[in-house]
Chain A
Amino acid sequence: MKKTPKVVNVADRAREEASVAKEILGPLVGMKLTLTRMVENMTGKVDPTIRYPEERRAYSDRYRGAHILTAREDGSPRCVACYMCATACPADCIYIEPGEHPDPLIEKYPTRFEIDMLRCVFCGFCVDACPEEAIIMSRETEICAFGRGETIWGIDRLMKRPELPEFGLGYRPNKELVDSRLAFVPKEKVQKRLAGRVTMKEDVEMIPHVTFDPLKESEKR
């Protein structure tokens, strides 16, 4: 049987519930919230503005920013010049020139490895394609230069990245599979755990908006 819907006349209800106290107190309650937020904002307790460039948004540690070439134990690049990244690259921005390595077990190494940062679309396919974890990504996005030539990064620039500690490492899906290291020492900072989108310039560990723990999810089921 179909239920007949209950009809409420809102105007009647308002007239019934109207009182002098409500008329006066209502705005005051609202005003309290407004004033509290105003004070909080003025004193800096709540601050939604990111004061770029002094402050930056914290990116996820899977962020795909400027590339890093990882190193062997002796500091030479891990890259074996196999061209997998250049083959996978949809922007055709990776240029490699291989050379004969004195160690027959390594055999091949890049004498030139250049990425044209202006052509790069930061898709991360090079990282996925790399069989050696020789190329990974950072969270660095600010690539400025005075000329186009400077935006073509060679081996030295890609391996040693003094500005990197500010940004941290990015997309690196095979970290567990390959033991690669960096040619430079990233500054070790105590990481703050911050929820939400807004953080200070110092190193933070971002807590993602949506957390999905597969173990917990399976427990639920």
Chain B
Amino acid sequence: MPKLTINGQEIEVEPGTTIIQAAQVAGIEIPHYCYHPDLPVDGNCRMCLVEVERMPKLAISCATLATEGMVVHTNNDRVKESVRGVLEFLLVNHPVDCPVCDQAGECRLQDYYMVYGLHTSEIPLEMKVRKQKVVDLGPMVVLDQERCVLCSRCIRFFDHVTHTGEMQFFGRGDHVAIGTFENRPLDNPYSGNVVDICPVGALTSRDFRFKCRVWFLNSTDSVCGGCSTGCSMRIDHRDGTVFRLLPRRNPEVNKSWLCDEGRMSFHELAAGERVRRPMIKGRDGMQAPVVWEEAVRSVDSKLKEIRDNHGAGSILGFASPSATNEALFLFKQYMAGQVGVTRFEFRADSEDKSVTEQEDNILRRVDKHPNSMGAIKLGLVSKEFGGIEGAIESAREGKLRAGVIIYFKPLVRRPTDEEAESRVAELIRAVEYSVVLAAHKTDWLAEASVVLPVTAWSEENGSYTNYQGRVQLARRAVTPAGDMRPVWQVFALLLAVSGADISWSTAADVFESLTETEPAYRGITYDEARLPGALVADI
């Protein structure tokens, strides 16, 4: 274990650690453009030069390994002067169009200029080398060659992560520019990542283009709801509107990446009308809005009436693999504990048979729900009944009379979605009494006996269990307009009405209860579930 000194601070690191990584551990930031923790080292930007005692010249800290007894200085005058010089060089042909650049506010050029630069440019704007601006690179990316600092992060991303190699340097000298061959669009499903890794405004997002200046946005830590991989991500929002989703670095799950489907999944959530008030179907067959207390009381008494008359076997608990662990836990507590239901299911789509099956070998998985593993671990599936088809069949035979159904539309659409949705609709039609907890309005929702409006992903605190069995926290980012409640709160209400002793006031309380009750989740604390997330027990 080499021991080195950085700015007078002694630190011991693993063998094979570079100086820049060691400094990061010590909490010292070394300016850099081309270095990225999840990409191979290139060492072309020369921003991370540091002074290592007894080395004749400054060394690039991203490619110099930390060795025993090394003494490193990152902020003495020699280093600062060098960084300032490099920065001035990088800015020689930069167009300085920060007012119209979407990167402004999170641009490394701006940040380092304020710390190291503060020089006046010797090159007037008219003398700068002109390159292509506003190059359309497909559905995710817009390229501005003039703003590029030629760090090659994007090139290395396509070479080493997606292995598609679309981007390359073109030209020589001052005229070097990045681009794709003949400006062909980037059409691979991870192209949005180059926007995040671009340290300057050369690659900007087409979707986020001109939508909002970044300093207006608030960030909330979350987990992607697009598939069972459960990538750590950040929701950037303002005034109740989600503007973009960005990956959070989680070395155990998604590294620094996010697929384009997941990145765009918030549009699916915003599309379509929401259910805003609890509704109960009256004698005339029409749904009428009621207050929550009334809806909950009616659901509880009706379910118990059916149980008493026809047995608990005539009720189905149909959970959603898009609901949080907390929601599924209280769903189970109420359905199994209070009503006595033994018949559970959560899959409406036969595509979702395997939670771990990969769609490609990077991130995406076939199962497009964030919490299928959570539903499995909580035991919300009874194999002997033959899934949703079996449920529909036994409802037609009259064996199944009631169903409590949580339904969220998937955030990443697939061709099989409509089929899955029609199965849920069929189930609602087949049973006598159906309670549906839904976020978005659909045609078939009008046929349910009771509709309860619930908040969806990004609108509630909760945790999701990904394909590895990793429990990760997702925070509430926005609050939708309407009388919706999180699913766990609905079942907490039902439990209270049913006479159970409840003591939860927040999702964190429910989580604590969950870790005390469920064997798979035993011992996990809320803090452990932050980053990189805590693994559930294998049971």
Which residues of chain A have a CB within 8 Å of any CB of chain B? 80-84, 87, 98-100, 104-108, 131-132
A105–B133 CB distance below 8 A: yes
A83–B213 CB distance below 8 A: yes
Residues of A within 8 A of B97 (CB): 107
Number of A-B pairs whose CB atoms are under 8 Å?
31
15 additional contacts (CB under 8 A) given A80-B100, A82-B99, A108-B100: A80-B99, A81-B210, A82-B98, A82-B213, A84-B99, A87-B213, A87-B215, A98-B210, A100-B209, A100-B210, A104-B133, A105-B133, A107-B97, A107-B100, A108-B210
Q: Smallest CB–CB gap between B127 and chain A, Å?
A: 16
Q: Smallest CB–CB gap between A178 and chain B, Å?
A: 13
A132–B99 CB distance below 8 A: yes
What mask results when residues 55 to 80 of chain B are scored 1 for a CB within 8 Å of chain A, else 0? 00000000000000000000000000
What mask results when residues 207 to 242 of chain B are scored 1 for a CB within 8 Å of chain A, else 0? 001100101100000000000000000000000000
Q: Smallest CB–CB gap between B485 and chain A, Å?
A: 32
**Would you give 16 A-B contacts (Cβ < 8 Å), ordered by A?**
A80-B99, A81-B210, A82-B98, A82-B99, A82-B100, A82-B104, A82-B213, A83-B216, A87-B216, A100-B210, A104-B133, A105-B133, A106-B100, A107-B133, A108-B210, A132-B99
Please report the C-alpha to C-alpha distance between residue A131 and residue B104 in the assembled complex, in whole angstroms.
14
Choose from A82, A87, A104 the contact partner of B134 (Cβ within 8 Å): A104
Residues of A within 8 A of B99 (CB): 80, 82, 84, 131-132
Closest to A99 in B: B210
Residues of B within 8 A of A84 (CB): 99
Please report the C-alpha to C-alpha distance between residue A80 and residue B98 in the assembled complex, in whole angstroms.
11
Q: Smallest CB–CB gap between B474 and chain A, Å?
A: 30
Q: Smallest CB–CB gap between B150 and chain A, Å?
A: 20
Residues of B within 8 A of A100 (CB): 209-210
Closest to B135 in A: A104
Interface residues of B in 75-133 (CB under 8 A from A): 97-100, 104, 133
Closest to B213 in A: A83
Please report the C-alpha to C-alpha distance between residue A51 and residue B104 in the assembled complex, in whole angstroms.
51
Closest to B102 in A: A108
Interface residues of B in 264-323 (CB under 8 A from A): none
Residues of A within 8 A of B209 (CB): 100
Q: Smallest CB–CB gap between A39 and chain B, Å?
A: 62
Closest to A108 in B: B100
Please report the C-alpha to C-alpha distance between residue A108 and residue B104 in the assembled complex, in whole angstroms.
14
Please report the C-alpha to C-alpha distance between residue A87 and residue B98 in the assembled complex, in whole angstroms.
14
Q: Smallest CB–CB gap between B305 and chain A, Å?
A: 55
Residues of B within 8 A of A131 (CB): 99
Closest to A100 in B: B210
Give the 9 A-B residue pairs with the shortest CB-CB distance, closest first.
A82-B99, A98-B210, A108-B100, A104-B133, A104-B134, A83-B213, A107-B100, A80-B100, A131-B99
Looking at A98, A99, A105, A107, the one whose CB has the most chain B CB atoms below 10 A away is: A107
Residues of A within 8 A of B210 (CB): 81, 98-100, 108
Please report the C-alpha to C-alpha distance between residue A84 and residue B97 in the assembled complex, in whole angstroms.
13
Residues of B within 8 A of A106 (CB): 100
Please report the C-alpha to C-alpha distance between residue A107 and residue B144 in the assembled complex, in whole angstroms.
11
Residues of B within 8 A of A107 (CB): 97, 100, 133-134
Residues of A within 8 A of B134 (CB): 104, 107
Please report the C-alpha to C-alpha distance between residue A100 and residue B215 in the assembled complex, in whole angstroms.
21
Q: Smallest CB–CB gap between A189 and chain B, Å?
A: 36
Q: Smallest CB–CB gap between B537 and chain A, Å?
A: 50
